[in-house]
Amino acid sequence: PSPGREVWSRRSVFILAAIGSAVGLGNIWRFPYVAYSNGGGAFMIPYLVALLTAGIPLLFLYYSIGHRFKGSPPLAFRRMSKRAEGLGWWQVGICFIIAVYYAVIIAWAARFAIFSAKGDLSSPEKAGDAFGNLTKSDQTSLGFDYVAGVAWPLLITWVVVIAILAFGVQKGIGATAQFFVPVLVVLFIAVVIRALLLDGAGEGLNSLFTPDWGALTDSSVWIAAYGQIFFSLSVGFGIMITYSSYLKRKTNLTGAGLVVGFSNSAFEILAGIGVFAALGYMAAVQGVPVVDVADSGIGLAFVAFPTIISTMWGGSVFGLLFFISLIFAGITSLVSIIEVIISAVRDKTGMRRVPATILVGAAATIVSMVFFPTRSGVSVLDTVDHFANEFGIVGAALTSVVVVTWLLRKLPQQRDHLNGVSSFKLGWIWMACVGVITPIVLAYMLIDQIIDTVQNGYGDYGGGLVAGFGWALQIALIVIAVAVGFTRWHKSADQVIESDD
């Protein structure tokens, strides 16, 4: 291994950190809604197919790249082929963009945890308006009217995350995951059990799980399933490469990938049950069908849930547990995205952990604080999020799969590397999943989204927001990535790594 590269103390720490990264807001607020609106119970079939043909195979691929080349994405790709370095920087750029807004959602969750504890969500009216009152998010074009109520929890979020990262791979990231992931599971199970005891929970579950078999013939349902899997496992933008680069030489990689992939899905289904049980209750209280209260994302977590909390018995405890779950799920994910950037900067410049963490952390904090705790913050966040997910992540994942499989033709070597260290052996099926099925699905998703967004814009946002924080930002990222890819490295980067695979 490269001299001085940090390592996880045990494989289980890596697995917990990888689960901590994967289990995030997507599990809690995205999956239930995506499943519900794409065939309900029948969605489980495309979802499972997507997990097995793309999600887990890609986890294996990125683990093998990080582990074999022992580097952050730019260094790992450079060691695979000198011209591929830019691909790694593209992933680093995506991480930076996601990090600066992901932190804001954690900050909101922190405020709502406090609201719950203080009893500020005690009536449906107060609860329903709490998000609007907190964020004052009435501007749909870029502005800089700051909102203190979001700014200070955001700053605290950054301080916490930077502190965790400054402690390094094992003592910071690993130790955090060892504590946060098990606690998250316990807290969230408590949330789900309480939700299941609410009146109307059964109705909610029926509406989530009643299968609409007709959905299986609809291609958009299949695309939604693949989309959910890519997003939820956060494959394709460098996290898995980075985390697996800190593994020791002899590590069962495919075994770890299976554990991470299935744990993430288990948490997702658990969240689906909890969320729809609660929505069933809300529908019953309001005397409306569940359809009318189902919402995804911000509306679900910060409007529907607070409303539920406000009317149920024990709501403040339930709310506290729910929002702490969001915070815990979010922190471990945010830590993983920032680590990609820190790791890349360190590999490129030879900087030490603490200065690199402060540099990267300060840059992210400043950008995050300038653009998001404002009256236009929610609009900017929503726009950046849409483009980062639909174009950035999908584009970078597609490019990396095509480059590795078809341009550099490295898939057989990666397979041999995986098989050399792992218990679960891979053959041509894995190569077909990674090299053929995945790129076809990703290309279809990308083209479909580009056409849709070009024709319809995004949301109700002004052209300036969509052009600047959408298109221009994503294109700028690629240009910068390529440019950085051609700049000089710190001297140890080009060391030949021993071929022990």
β-bridge partners, 357:
none
User: Token pair of 296, please?
Assistant: 């995804």
Q: Which of 24, 73, 204, 306 binds ligand PHE (CB under 6 A)?
A: 24
For residues 49 and 159, what is the distance between their CA atoms, to the nearest angstrom? 40
Binding span for Na ion by CB under 5 A among 93-101, 122-130, 257-265, 299-307: 257-265
- Residue showing tokens 């999908």: 394
β-bridge partners, 374:
146
Q: Is 160 in the site for ligand PHE (CB under 6 A)?
A: no
Cβ of 181: how many Cβ atoms within 10 Å? 22
Long-range contacts of 210-213 (CB under 8 A, 24+ apart): 210/40, 210/41, 211/39, 211/40, 211/41, 211/42, 212/39, 212/40, 212/41, 212/42, 213/39, 213/42
CB 243 within 8 A of CB 336: yes
For residues 417 and 422, what is the distance between their CA atoms, to the nearest angstrom? 9
Return the residues of window 331-350 that contact ligand PHE according to CB under 6 A.
333, 336-337
Cβ of 451: how many Cβ atoms within 10 Å? 10
Q: Which of 64, 116, 140, 232 binds ligand PHE (CB under 6 A)?
A: 232
Q: Is 228 in the site for ligand PHE (CB under 6 A)?
A: no
Return the residues of window 431-490 that contact ligand PHE according to CB under 6 A.
none
State the nearest-atom distance from the C-beta of 196 to ligand PHE, in Å: 23
Helix (H, G, I), strand (E, B) or coil at 188: helix
Orientation angle between helical segments 73-80 and 85-118, nearest 10 degrees: 160
For residues 137 and 349, what is the distance between their CA atoms, to the nearest angstrom? 40
State the nearest-atom distance from the C-beta of 233 to Na ion, in Å: 6
State the nearest-atom distance from the C-beta of 93 to ligand PHE, in Å: 13
Q: Which of 22, 161, 364, 426 binds ligand PHE (CB under 6 A)?
A: 22
Which one of ligand PHE, Na ion, none interacts with residue 98, CB within 5 to 8 A by kind? ligand PHE
Q: Which of 234, 343, 400, 474 binds ligand PHE (CB under 6 A)?
A: 234
Q: Is 192 in the site for ligand PHE (CB under 6 A)?
A: no
* Smaller CB separation from ligand PHE, 232 or 316: 232
* Smaller CB separation from ligand PHE, 285 or 329: 329
State the nearest-atom distance from the C-beta of 201 to ligand PHE, in Å: 24
Q: Which of 13, 16, 19, 25 binds ligand PHE (CB under 6 A)?
A: 25
CA-wise closest residue to 410 among 402, 398, 419, 399: 402
Which one of ligand PHE, Na ion, none interacts with residue 336, CB within 5 to 8 A by kind? ligand PHE
Long-range contacts of 426-433 (CB under 8 A, 24+ apart): 426/60, 426/254, 430/57, 430/60, 431/405, 433/53, 433/54, 433/57
Q: Is 307 in the site for ligand PHE (CB under 6 A)?
A: no
* Smaller CB separation from ligand PHE, 127 or 229: 229
H-only helix segments in 218-352: 219-233, 239-244, 253-286, 298-299, 305-311, 315-349
* Smaller CB separation from ligand PHE, 232 or 365: 232
Return the residues of window 227-246 that contact Na ion according to CB under 5 A.
232
CA-wise closest residue to 390 among 103, 94, 141, 140: 94
Q: Which of 8, 18, 26, 110 binds ligand PHE (CB under 6 A)?
A: 26
User: Token pair of 246, please?
Assistant: 């800190």
CB 164 within 8 A of CB 172: yes
* Smaller CB separation from ligand PHE, 22 or 59: 22
β-bridge partners, 146:
374
Which one of ligand PHE, Na ion, none interacts with residue 337, CB within 5 to 8 A by kind? ligand PHE
Which one of Na ion, ligand PHE, none interacts with residue 21, CB within 5 to 8 A by kind? ligand PHE
Using CB under 6 A, count the residues that bind ligand PHE.
13
Q: Is 265 in the site for ligand PHE (CB under 6 A)?
A: no
Element (H, E) at 367: helix 353-371
For residues 192 and 336, what is the distance between their CA atoms, to the nearest angstrom? 26
Q: Is 55 in the site for ligand PHE (CB under 6 A)?
A: no
Using CB under 5 A, count the residues that bind Na ion.
5
For residues 174 and 9, what is the distance between their CA atoms, to the nearest angstrom? 8
Phi, psi angles (nearest 5°) of residue 498: -60, 135
Q: Is 140 in the site for ligand PHE (CB under 6 A)?
A: no
Q: Which of 16, 17, 22, 256 binds Na ion (CB under 5 A)?
A: 22
Q: Is 263 in the site for ligand PHE (CB under 6 A)?
A: no
* Smaller CB separation from Na ion, 258 or 359: 258
* Chain contacts with Na ion (rule: CB under 5 A): 22, 26-27, 232, 264
* Chain contacts with ligand PHE (rule: CB under 6 A): 21-22, 24-27, 98, 231-232, 234, 333, 336-337
